[in-house]
Amino acid sequence: MVMSISSVNTAPQNPKSIRQKTIEKGQQGFILGAGIGAIEGFTRKSWLKGDKPSDTFVKQVSKQMEKTLAPNEKSELTKVNKFFEALLDYKTEPDELRQRIEKSNELSNAIIKQEGETTEKALDRIFAQDKPMLKKELRELQDRTVVDKKVNINAAKRLVNKNFNQKTKAFEKANETTKEAFSIIKKAITKTRIKTAVKDTVVGGVLVGIAGMLIGAHELTKKQK
């Protein structure tokens, strides 16, 4: 039997394989899931854990607080942080720790001096201890530095708690909070929302994308039976 011209023209020239069609379903699902995930992740109160601000959000507030420091304060905070990284490293020798203290005004001023002692004499006394006792004493330095107190987790918690309304589960500027301080919270909210949206975009896209591929494979397999 000779095929008609119309039947030849309407026949698919390059029929897609099950694999190609399944991938297409998966891509469609990924785009849909990514969009849903991004919207859901950005709009929800992702800074809450249960009914209060999460520890992750408080850390983000602390990071935003660091950005408000003056250049000399940022420099000192870097020295303080680097000092404690070295302190936690068992390979660090006492001489290096002393040099770091001497090069930082914040750390030097945090040294507790006995009556009549200079900073140098106080360091001589402190560093005469054995290494374990020395490191134990030096761990207390960070809490005594002025710059760390401005931006550490405790400072961030105080700012967050002062401006968080437990009834509405939302942030409202307290009378004693400056506009600049409250803007730190708002920036931290935006940063948290973006991070959550990015994470939910990927998760949503992958999950719905996989679902799309499975549905596509199932439908196409049924057609072949």
**pLDDT tens track for 29-45:** 444 444 443 344 334 46
Residue 74 lies in a domain: yes
Tell me how far apart the alpha carbons of residues 204 and 58 are, in angstroms, rounded to a whole number. 26
Q: How many domains does the chain have?
A: 2
- pLDDT tens digit string along 167-181? 988 889 999 999 999
* Same domain? 188 vs 209: yes
| Lowest-pLDDT choice from 8-12, 19-23, 75-79, 212-216 | 212-216
Is 195 in the same domain as 106?
no
10 belongs to a structural domain:
no
92 and 105 share a domain? yes
Do 61 and 155 sit in the same domain of this protein?
yes
**Residue 118 shares a structural domain with residue 129:** yes
pLDDT, position 191 = 81
| Percentage of the chain lying above the pLDDT 90 cut | 48
Calculate Rg over the CA atoms of the chain.
Answer: 30
Domain end (from 165, 187, 215): 165
Q: What would the pLDDT profile of 192-202 be if each residue is shown by its tens digit?
A: 777 764 454 44
Indicate whether 128 and 77 sit together in one domain: yes
Q: Is residue 47's pLDDT more than 90?
A: no
Q: For residue 13, is it within any domain?
A: no
Pair (36, 107) in one structural domain: no
**Per DSSP, what are the bridge partners of residue 171?**
164
Residue 80 amino acid letter? V
Query: Same structural domain for residues 92 and 103?
Result: yes
Does 33 reside within a domain? yes
Residue 87 belongs to a domain: yes
41 and 102, same domain (yes or no):
no
Does residue 9 lie within any of the structural domains?
no
DSSP 178: -
Which of 128, 145, 165 is the last residue before a domain boundary? Answer: 165
For residues 45 and 57, state if they share a domain.
no
The residue segments making up the domain with residue 107 are 52-165
Is position 89 within any domain? yes
Domain membership flag for residue 11:
no
Residue 165 dihedral angles phi and psi, to the nearest 5°? -90, 115
pLDDT in tens, 92-140: 999 999 999 999 999 999 999 999 999 999 999 999 999 889 988 999 8
Q: Indicate if 195 and 159 belong to the same structural domain.
A: no
Kindly give the residue spans of alpha helices, DSSP state H, lying in the chain. 5-10, 18-43, 55-66, 71-88, 94-102, 105-109, 119-126, 131-138, 141-144, 146-151, 153-162, 179-224
Give the containing element (helix H, strand E) for 164: strand 164-165
Residue where a domain stops, chosen among 165, 189, 213: 165
129 and 192 in a single domain? The answer is no
